[in-house]
Amino acid sequence: MTQVAVGGRLHFGFSNLSLSHSRLYGALGVALEGPQVSLSATPADAVDAPPAIESVAETVCEQLGVDGVSLRVDQQLPAHVGLGSGTQQALAVATAVAGAYDKGIAVREIAPALGRGGRSGIGVATFEAGGFVLDGGHPTARFTTDRPQDGDWTVPPVAARHPVPDDWRFLLVVPDSEPGRSGDVEDDSIRAAIERAEPAIADRISGLLTRRVLPAIAAGDADRFGKAVAEIGRLNGAWYADEQGGVYRPPVGELVDALSGSPAIYGAGQSSWGPTVYGITDAGHAEAARDAGRTALEVAGIDGDVQVVAGRNHGARVAGDPIDVTAKRS
């Protein structure tokens, strides 16, 4: 039996959605210690898996040339709330199946066949090694109005990676509301946003990345980092406003406004399509940040879950040890 466990991730936004620039997408985000997906795999004659991961397991078995697998899920990331459940779960399945058969696997190579890493490389990169990641995006010339078939792309390269400082913390506020976009709906929304994207926004984001985000995480300055990624989130929201009903999708805007008034929060925003709202804080302000999250839900008049978690500076764990990212397909 092989057990794989990995935490979620936050997605702060893209560097560019305009077809006027040479590189498209270019995502930035950070790996989290929790919440986690944890599952185990044992060899079997056929696929025996929960419905949510059955098709992924079948694809993995086909890719690895094995007959089947029995999968047990012990912990599960909430689906489509902005924490990267789809990619983390798919790659965990692939890694567990490969381990059960003592086969080498490079998650970056198998991810496209599983439908992962087509736009953002954050999920794959954080599964591999954790940390804060900025990926290099894709050449804009490869953009097509129709979604490519699974496997018809490569995962964006890692352009920059930094360890998350040990004392940084991330407030997660997950309101009880409709899940974020995924599948064909997400594809349609992204294409619509790209077709209208204002190129000047990408120029502003580029300046924020080079002059504020990267220097802040290199220096361990949570205050500067939080303010900068929050601004990048707002600029991304200008691209998505017509698709999601505003700079933030409802009810995220109310939560972000409430959190932004707390001295314990250095910056707040929407992760991916939401509805998860993040807040950047540190260990010394963790309890105050948690209280601010609860207050934000009360102000918005909705229920939800509030957590404060650390960053993760390692990849997924296989039987308790970090994943070997140098492994090759076998």
pLDDT digits (tens, 9 = 90+) for 140-198: 988 876 666 766 789 999 999 999 999 999 999 999 998 766 677 888 888 888 989 99
Q: How confident is the model at residue 323 (pLDDT cuts 50, 70, 90)?
A: confident
102 Cβ contact list (under 8 Å, min separation 6): none
Answer yes or no: is pLDDT of 328 > 70.
no
Give the percent of the chain with pLDDT over 90. Answer: 85
In this prediction, residue 85 carries a pLDDT of: 96
Q: How confident is the model at residue 71 (pLDDT cuts 50, 70, 90)?
A: very high
DSSP 39-94: EEEEEESSEE--HHHHHHHHHHHHHHT-SEEEEEEEE-PPTTSSS-HHHHHHHHHH
Q: CA-to-CA distance for 232 and 228, rounded, in angstroms?
A: 6
Contact between 42 and 70 (Cβ < 8 Å): yes
Give the residue with greater pLDDT, 137 vs 189.
Answer: 137
Minimum mean pLDDT range among 32-36, 147-151, 296-300, 313-317: 147-151
In this prediction, residue 123 carries a pLDDT of: 98
208 Cβ contact list (under 8 Å, min separation 6): 228, 231, 232, 235
Answer yes or no: is pLDDT of 205 > 90.
yes
Contact between 16 and 25 (Cβ < 8 Å): yes
Beta bridge partners of 27: 14
Give the residue with greater pLDDT, 319 vs 303.
Answer: 303
Q: How confident is the model at residue 70 (pLDDT cuts 50, 70, 90)?
A: very high
Q: How confident is the model at residue 320 (pLDDT cuts 50, 70, 90)?
A: confident
Q: How confident is the model at residue 19 (pLDDT cuts 50, 70, 90)?
A: very high
Q: Where are the beta strands (DSSP E) in 93-205?
A: 132-135, 138-139, 158-162, 168-175
Question: Tens digits of per-residue pLDDT, 223-246?
Answer: 999 999 999 999 999 999 988 989
Q: CA-to-CA distance for 162 and 173, rounded, in angstroms?
A: 24
Domains of the chain: 2-322 (3.30.230.120)
Q: How confident is the model at residue 3 (pLDDT cuts 50, 70, 90)?
A: very high
Give the residue with greater pLDDT, 126 vs 141.
Answer: 126
